[in-house]
Amino acid sequence: MSQVIQAQLFPGVNLTAVHTNKFKSSYFGVSLLTALDRDRAAENALVPWVLRRGCRTYPDLQAISTRLDELYGGALEVTIEKKGESQCLCLNASFLDDAFTPGEEQLLEPAVSLLGDILLHPYTENGVFSKEYVAGEQTNLIDTIRAQVNDKRRYSMLRLGQEMCRREAFGISKLGDEESAAAITADSLWRRYQALLSTAQVELFYCGSAAPERVQQAFKTAFAKLPVNPDREQSECELRITAPAEPNVVEEALDVTQGKLAMGFRTDGIGVWDEEYPALMLLNAVFGGTSMSKLFMNVREKLSLCYFASSALEKFKGLMMVSSGIEFEKFRQAKDEILAQLDACRRGEISDEELDGARRILSTALHTLTDSQRRLADYWLGQAVAGIDETPEQLAQRLEQVSKEQIVQVAGRMHLDTIFFLKGKEAQQ
């Protein structure tokens, strides 16, 4: 069985430790959480990438890779996440669990110490980040920002979020924009890094077989040099936004053979904090969240209007987003049919099979989450952003209590805000 222990190591610096014997690896997360900000997003996003280039003890990539190899192929990756209106700058690592090292070597302490070194003791030149590292990672960041257009399905969802929330922090890209990325210097990035170290909320995560006391001690030692600040940031998010009377329609043309239709709904402020949240999860599952949902069964299978059609929640922001791939000329037909399926939910046209199926799928997803270290890390990071400590099992319990009437009621509160249509260039003529 697994056990979750949460502790504040220093003010605004929290550790979540999942103690379990069922994995071959141990998993570590170090995340800095800060409010999404248009001017700072690119700088913030660049910080962990530059940190990943080298530290005091392992000054370049090859030295870090060598160290990871010595620790039985440890993996260390940078991810930048957006959760609600928080930008999460994450260093995630996984190592062979101590139980499976051939010579009973202990990897926990060296692993945490490596993470501490990377976050707190970067490789510097003249008291700031190396110009070479900053310039290299800056180019990569700009390339990544530009590459967002490559995956058209994801790009259309990204654009939908930007258009829909253009006056809210949520509309800011988690990577920032190209222009501010291009303006970053080694000096400006160093100042941003120092500010983040002393003001960002810090979330630490561990999942593995080591005893919680040992884990806590390892993190305390490795992160002892974090600046002390009793007033570190706390995540916030604006949810109570109402949709316009007439939805905003945005079209964009690119050289593609398949169109992408994305539609964004406001949930009337319902988010992960609310009593109605399990009902919203079920509504989304019935409407478009699964392979037996109304969008999949009717819009894709029965009417063959789309290659794919699904919906997903932004649970920290109160949005429900529909994503679909269509032939260009099916725009109106697909849009009408997607809306018709939501209307059916509003009228209570939800069969017992649909509801039971949706409930079983969500329940399974929450239980299987506990079988994956990466998903556990992501779940608990989200809970930290939201400031709640509900376990996946507890949320699964709440799902069992939701009635069809509650789902119908929640469906009535969904309002279409923005439509984004990615069409082909020839379709303009």
127, 353, 401, 429: which one contacts another protein (CB under 8 A)?
353
- 427 makes contact with another protein (CB under 8 A): no
- 132 makes contact with another protein (CB under 8 A): yes
Quote the DSSP letter at residue 168: S
The CA distance from 156 to 159, in Å, is 5
CA 242 to each of CA 184, 279, 312: distance values in angstroms, whole numbers, following the listed order: 36, 20, 19
Specify the stretch interacting with another protein by CB under 8 A; choose among 55-63, 186-194, 225-233, 340-348. Answer: 55-63
The CA distance from 322 to 69, in Å, is 42
Per-residue 3-state assignment (H helix, E strand, C coil) for 112-132:
HHHHHHHHHCECEECCEECHH
Task: Return the sign of the alpha-carbon dihedral for residues 53, 54, 59, 61.
Answer: negative
Q: Which is nearer to another protein, 225 or 425 (CB)?
A: 425
**Phi, psi dihedral angles at 172 (to 5 degrees):** -80, 135
Instruction: Give burial (CB, 10 Å; 0-12/13-18/19+) of 245.
Output: exposed
CB under 8 Å to 66, separation ≥6 — which residues?
58
Specify the stretch interacting with another protein by CB under 8 A; choose among 82-90, 143-151, 188-196, 240-248. Answer: 143-151
Specify the stretch interacting with another protein by CB under 8 A; choose among 84-92, 146-154, 240-248, 410-418. Answer: 146-154
Chain Cα centroid distance, residue 72: 28
Specify the stretch interacting with another protein by CB under 8 A; choose among 166-174, 219-227, 367-375, 378-386. Answer: 367-375
Long-range pairs for 218-222 at CB < 8 Å and ≥24 separation? 218/108, 218/109, 218/112, 218/113, 219/9, 219/15, 219/112, 219/116, 220/9, 221/112, 221/113, 221/116, 222/112, 222/113, 222/115, 222/116, 222/117
- 225 makes contact with another protein (CB under 8 A): no
SS3 15: strand
10, 79, 109, 136: which one contacts another protein (CB under 8 A)?
136
120, 250, 254, 312: which one contacts another protein (CB under 8 A)?
254
Q: Which is nearer to another protein, 309 or 319 (CB)?
A: 309
Residues 313/291/345/388 CA torsion (nearest 10 deg): -30
Q: Which is nearer to another protein, 70 or 343 (CB)?
A: 70
Specify the stretch interacting with another protein by CB under 8 A; choose among 90-98, 217-225, 334-342, 412-420. Answer: 90-98
Site string for another protein, 255-284 (x = CB under 8 A): xxxx--------------------------
Map the footprint of another protein across residues 282-301, applying CB under 8 A: 290-292, 297, 300-301
- 394 makes contact with another protein (CB under 8 A): no
SS3 76: strand
18, 71, 261, 419: which one contacts another protein (CB under 8 A)?
71
Quote the DSSP letter at residue 174: T
- 46 makes contact with another protein (CB under 8 A): no
Site string for another protein, 302-341 (x = CB under 8 A): --x-xx-----------------x-x--------------
Least distance (Å) between residue 75 CB and another protein: 7
Quote the DSSP letter at residue 371: T
Map the footprint of another protein across residues 98-117, applying CB under 8 A: 99-100, 102
Q: Which is nearer to another protein, 154 or 347 (CB)?
A: 154
Footprint of another protein (CB under 8 A): 1, 21-25, 60-62, 65-66, 68-75, 94-96, 99-100, 102, 132, 136, 139-140, 143-144, 146-147, 149-152, 254-258, 290-292, 297, 300-301, 304, 306-307, 325, 327, 353, 356-357, 359-361, 363-365, 367-368, 370-373
